[in-house]
């Protein structure tokens, strides 16, 4: 019974809005950490620490990175573009430069999606001029990426008649109610929030393949083209072409090797379970997860596991 006196170590994974995919990623990880702990119980007790994991809803990517830097969160989910900019200090006005940022693995692709209301008459980027547009809450990945998109097109929020800052769980309701004409969201496919607007009130996702977007994809290592296949939502009658980033799990160099090792072990040893938790995770491939979309160095606790498993 002496072995039950293990000290519990708590850690948190920052996610995104409650209707997003990050929230599912974070909570799936915590579930796997709990599973592996109970599987180990009795065998390794006394040597293993007991980990307690929580994955609260947060403002999103850049909020998570900032909180990891402050030591308030130990892990977070973040878009690959914001991981890159935080580590390299290349967009200090949007995400604080953070050399201590470490990559853990990447998860699902996240196409940047502009959702437009049924009666908005918006069909492409140019027809967004003068419309009421939700550019996303500060701290979210889509907010920063939307700003990059505006800069790339040589405009700012004055291009729209109104620019709101609603969070991801409020924007579909606002679109359906006609309070806004469009919103931008970087999120895995499919997503419940997006289907609330598409299947729910006839909103659709526009193609984003302007010359400015082509230049972004050509110039930046963290952007790629993505097709949202026709039939994904009721209103996606044709394939939709837009640019995408990756959802990645990040941590700090200050987080212990043991904790990061425990997290990657839990995820990689339960990968089939993870894939089954959400359609956006269906194509997860361990070889890609340890490399793709990662620009900060891998945390040593992750490297230790990947080497043991022959992935590196
Ligand atoms: N990509 C969004 C962000 O960085 C979050 C998407 C989600 O919640 O799944 O804030």
pLDDT at 45 over 90: no
State if residue 136 touches ligand 1 by the CB under 6 angstroms criterion. Answer: no
Which of these, 131, 129, 196, lies nearest to 168 by C-alpha position?
196
pLDDT per residue over 246-277, tens digit each?
Answer: 999 999 999 999 999 999 999 999 999 999 99
- What is the percent of the chain with per-residue pLDDT over 90, rounded to a whole number? 92
**The pLDDT of residue 39:** 73
Q: How far apart are the C-alpha atoms of 119 and 138, rounded to whole Å? A: 27
What are the C-alpha distances in Å from 59 to residues 169, 223, 261, 299? 10, 22, 26, 24
Q: Do the Cβ atoms of 263 and 29 come closer than 8 Å?
A: yes
Phi, psi of 195 (to 5 degrees): -70, -25
- Taking the CA of residue 77 as reference, the ligand 1 atom at the shortest distance is 4
pLDDT in tens, 60-70: 999 999 999 99
- pLDDT value of residue 43: 55
**Minimum CA distance residue for ligand 1 atom 3:** 141
Distance CA 176, CA 184 (A): 14
Confidence label for 48 from pLDDT (cuts 50, 70 and 90): low
Q: Is residue 38 predicted with pLDDT exceeding 80?
A: no
- Find the 242 Cα to ligand 1 centroid distance in Å: 16
Give the span between the Cα atoms of 103 and 296, in whole angstroms.
5
Which H or E run contains 305? helix 300-308
Q: Which of 142, 134, 136 is nearest to 61 (CA)?
A: 142
Ligand 1 centroid – CA 143 distance (Å): 10
Given a cut of 90, whether residue 145 has pLDDT beyond it is: yes
pLDDT grade for 104, boundaries at 50, 70 and 90: very high
The finding on whether 17 has its CB within 6 A of some atom of ligand 1 is: yes
pLDDT at residue 10 tops 60: yes
| Residue-level pLDDT at 40 | 65
Token readout for 95 is 């995400």
Question: What is the atom index within ligand 1 of the atom nearest the CA of 78?
Answer: 4
Q: Which of 36, 28, 78 is CA-nearest to residue 55?
A: 28
At residue 8 the predicted structure's pLDDT band, cuts being 50, 70 and 90, is confident
Using the atom order of ligand 1, give the atom closest to the CA of residue 82: 4
How many whole angstroms from 297 Cα to the centroid of ligand 1? 22
Measured by CA distance, the residue closest to atom 6 of ligand 1 is: 187
Give the dihedral sign, CA 277/208/80/135. negative
Strand-strand pairing, 132-134 and 204-205: unpaired
Taking the centre of ligand 1 as the mean of its atom positions, its distance from the CA of residue 234, in whole angstroms, is 22
pLDDT surpasses 70 at 4: no
In short, whether 141's Cβ falls inside 6 Å of ligand 1 is yes
* pLDDT for the residue numbered 182: 98
Instruction: From residue 311, give the alpha-carbon distance in Å to each of 194, 217, 247, 305, 307.
Output: 35, 29, 20, 9, 6
In eight-state DSSP terms, residue 48 is B
Residues in the chain: 312
For the CA of 140, the closest atom of ligand 1 is 10
The sign of the torsion formed by the CA atoms of 22, 24, 28, 34 equals positive
**Banded pLDDT at 41 (limits 50, 70, 90):** low
* Cα 120 to Cα 181: distance, rounded to the nearest angstrom: 5
Task: Look at residues 71, 180, 48 and name the one whose alpha carbon lies nearest to residue 117.
Answer: 180
pLDDT tier for residue 49 given thresholds of 50, 70 and 90: confident
Q: Is 35 exposed, middle or buried, given 0-12, 13-18 or 19+ CB atoms closer than 10 A?
A: middle
Q: Which atom belonging to ligand 1 lies closest to the Cα atom of 16?
A: 8
**pLDDT score for 50:** 86
209 vs 48, residue with greater confidence: 209
Q: Residue 281 carries which DSSP code?
A: G
What would the two tokens of residue 73 be?
């969160």
Q: Which atom of ligand 1 is nearest to the CA of 188?
A: 9
Instruction: Say what the pLDDT of residue 1 is.
Output: 47
Categorize the per-residue pLDDT at 36 as very low, low, confident or very high, splitting at 50, 70 and 90. confident
What pLDDT is stored for residue 27 in this prediction? 97
pLDDT band for position 2 (50/70/90)?
A: very low
Q: Is the pLDDT of residue 180 over 60?
A: yes
Q: What is the largest CA-CA distance in the chain?
A: 69
- 281 close to ligand 1 (CB < 6 Angstrom): no
Torsion of CA 223, 255, 309, 43, to 10 degrees: -140
Closest protein CA for atom 2 of ligand 1? 141
How many A from CA of 205 to the centre of ligand 1? Answer: 17
CA of 308 to the centre of ligand 1 (A): 31
């Amino acid at each position: 019974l002496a072995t039950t006196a293990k000290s519990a170590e708590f850690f948190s994974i920052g996610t995104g809005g409650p209707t997003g995919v990050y929230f599912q990623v974070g909570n799936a990880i915590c579930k796997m950490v709990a599973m592996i702990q109970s599987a180990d119980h009795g065998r390794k007790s006394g040597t293993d620490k007991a980990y307690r994991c929580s994955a609260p809803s947060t403002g999103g990517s850049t909020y998570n990175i900032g909180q990891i830097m402050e030591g308030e969160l130990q892990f977070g989910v973040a878009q690959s573009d914001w991981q890159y900019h935080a580590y390299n200090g290349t967009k200090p006005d949007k995400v604080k430069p953070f050399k201590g940022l470490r990559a853990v693995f990447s998860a699902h692709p996240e196409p940047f999606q502009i959702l437009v209301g049924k009666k908005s008459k918006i069909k492409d980027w140019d027809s967004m001029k003068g419309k009421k547009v939700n550019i996303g809450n500060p701290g979210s990945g889509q907010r920063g990426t939307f700003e990059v998109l505006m800069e790339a097109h040589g405009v700012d929020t004055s291009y729209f008649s109104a620019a709101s800052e609603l969070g991801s769980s409020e924007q579909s309701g606002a679109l359906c109610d006609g309070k806004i004409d469009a919103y931008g969201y970087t999120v895995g496919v499919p997503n419940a929030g997006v289907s609330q607007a598409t299947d729910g009130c006839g909103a659709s996702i526009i193609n984003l393949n302007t010359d400015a977007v082509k230049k972004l994809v050509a110039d930046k290592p963290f952007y790629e083209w993505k097709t949202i296949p026709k039939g994904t939502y009721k209103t996606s009658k044709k394939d939709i072409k837009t640019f995408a980033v990756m959802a990645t799990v990040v941590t700090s160099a200050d987080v212990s090797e043991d904790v990061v090792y425990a997290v990657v072990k839990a995820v990689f040893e339960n990968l089939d379970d993870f894939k089954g938790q959400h359609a956006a995770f269906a194509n997860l491939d361990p070889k890609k997860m340890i490399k793709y979309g990662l620009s900060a160095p891998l945390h040593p606790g992750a490297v230790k596991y990947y080497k043991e498993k022959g992935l590196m």
